[in-house]
Amino acid sequence: MSAAPPPRIGLVLGGGGLKGFAHLGVLAVLERLGLRPTMVAGSSIGALVATAYAAGTPLALMEQRALALTRKQLFRVNTAAIARAGLRAPSFYAPEPLAALIAGVVPPARFDELRMPLLVNTVDLERGVQVAWGSPGFTDAPLREAVYASCALPGFFPPGKVNGRTCVDGGTCDNLPVTFAAQGVDLLVAVDVGNSEIQLASDILTAGLGSIFMRSATLMMRTLQGWPLREWDGPPMLLIRPRVSQYGWFNFDKIPTLIAAGEQAAQEALPDLQHALHAGRGIWPRRPVQVEVVRERCTGCGMCVALAPHAMERDEGGKAIPKRAVFDWSPADADFVSQCPTGAIVARRVA
């Protein structure tokens, strides 16, 4: 009797600025375990890491470049464009430093020259549609062009041209492109780098335009990526969430910490990979979670009931209450908790 073929595993790497260097820690664990995905996909910095990986760039070189990266190397004010066009300039920062960073780990090749299938998520700004470079009909594009466009956060960097299309950051519409990657695989490993949890920012009004924009973008991305996870009906998914939400998108001094956080999160989640495969559906890992409502904080606004009718309801007094004391939940099931306007809901892992 012939042995069963190995499972087809898709790896999806989400965006999140420098927090995406946590992907390197996840890849390190996959390498140690001998787990090699059959395809990879990514948005923004996830697209950069995914492309370098698919192209065969050694992980050691990626880590070396990440650890040596400085703010001055990535951000250079687009002085010429601003002086020439003022508010009509395409971006605040010049494109050359980002393009150089990409060229340092991504070869000058096209998608159809890779051995491993790769999807790079972008948004065609003129047509107003998502384009997954590497999908059928979009394989003749240069890797570097697609990755630059996927990393071109609007306002920060100019849009990129990919085979004549004007494209921007894939996270604008889909920061964790699991739906694109779900076709033809037996299991997805998706790495979400910190957009599911939003830390309190009491000084946001004094933090400047860039910080206000980035926080707004993070909130938008959290909402957008929550929709496919909420009603996931694709192949089983192992959702890895490194604990990096407390860091900013561009904390250059935290890069070693971010890589280590990715490694730790992968080590905690990957033992559930076989459970996910055998289940054949759902989001993993699954853990018992206790939900409580602090009644004096609850206003009865109903936000939790609207977002999570499977978990929350109102009592006779109009206050929110959980439908059960303990739930068997994946990492995505408790996302509604952080969206309570008064912080009245508490979810804790049960030992």
Which residues are the active-site residues? Answer: 44, 169
Q: What is the CA radius of gyration of the chain?
A: 21
Query: Is 267 buried (19+), middle (13-18) or exposed (0-12) by CB count in 10 A?
Result: middle
CB 123 within 8 A of CB 131: yes
- Category of 281 on φ-ψ map: left (φ > 0), alpha (ψ -120 to 50) or beta: beta
Total length of the chain: 351
CB 151 within 8 A of CB 135: no
H or E, element range at 259: helix 255-269
Buried b / exposed e over 137-171, threshold 16 CB at 10 Å, is: ebeebbbbbbbbbbbbbbbbbbbbebeebbbbbbb
Half-sphere exposure of 78 (CA within 13 A, CB side): 20
From the DSSP assignment, how many helices (H) and strands (E) are in the chain?
12, 14
CA distances from 111 to 133, 188, 310 (A): 8, 21, 42
Query: Is 38 buried (19+), middle (13-18) or exposed (0-12) by CB count in 10 A?
Result: middle
